[in-house]
Amino acid sequence: MNQSSVMTRQFWCGVAAVAVVIIVAAAAPALAKSFGGSLKLDPIGALATGPCSATYANICPSTTCVCQQYQGKLSGHFGGRSGAGSAQLSLTVDDGLATSSPDGCRPIFGVATISTPIGGATINLTGAFCDEIGKSTQQKIQGGFGLAGGSFGEGLGTFNGNLNNTSDKLTISFSGQTQ
């Protein structure tokens, strides 16, 4: 084999290797980034009869629901960046589908709008409020959420928290992955 044939073969092997790298890179999904933090919220006004009007929070399967609006502070990490900001939450609680004793869980549907100096997003959430056995002063909240775009991409995750029945303050911790 002459030197020209060897160089030609090496050239085409190099081209094939580059093509494989390009194909694999194009087919690989984008690396997921963590998304999470906490919300510390105060109620805005009194409970309203019926579901909230905000898109995903406007769900009330039993037709016996209440709407509570919240606003407050946000802190956490969003798409690989840390930040703090503000949050607003519209939360529909379906009292008509509450479970019976011992813990009286009720389905919830909500929309949170978050805003930070590095961007904002909408979070659609669903889950349940449950009375804690032996603790009349607080309720547990937990479920899942979908990050509906915005500055941080789209993603999924879970949340949990507490509602203080004395002060009506709601704290929620959330974590998930963005695309």
User: Half-sphere exposure of residue 161, counting CA atoms within 13 Å on the CB side?
Assistant: 22
As given in the structure block, the two tokens for residue 176 are 């998930």
pLDDT at 30: 53
Tell me the three state secondary structure of residue 23. Answer: helix
Task: Give whole-number Cα distances, 146 to 122, 150, 165, in Å.
Answer: 9, 12, 27
**Among 53, 40, 50, 10, which residue's Cα sits nearest to residue 174?**
40
Give the pLDDT score at 161: 94
The answer for residues whose C-beta is within 8 angstroms of residue 127's C-beta and 6 or more apart is 107, 108, 141, 142, 143, 144, 159
Total-model pTM? 0.78
Of 117, 55, 41, 136, whose CA–CA distance to 92 is shortest? 55
3-class SS letters over 66-99: EEEEEEEEEEEEECCEEEEEEEEEEEEEEHHHCC
How confident is the model at residue 79, as a pLDDT?
A: 66
Sequence-distant (6+) residues with CB within 8 A of 53 are 67, 90
Interacting residues of 3 by C-beta distance below 8 A, sequence separation 6+: none
Give residue-wise pLDDT tens across range 149-171. 777 778 899 999 999 988 889 99
State residue 1's pLDDT score.
Answer: 55
What local confidence, expressed as pLDDT, does residue 57 receive?
94
The whole-number pLDDT of residue 63 equals: 93
Distance, in Å, from the CA atom of 49 to the CA atom of 47, rounded to the nearest integer, reads 7
Q: What is the pLDDT along the chain (179 residues), one digit of tens a residue?
A: 555 443 444 444 333 333 333 333 343 345 668 888 999 999 998 889 999 998 899 999 999 999 999 999 999 887 677 889 999 999 999 999 988 766 689 999 999 999 988 888 899 999 999 887 766 778 899 999 998 877 777 889 999 999 998 888 999 999 998 87
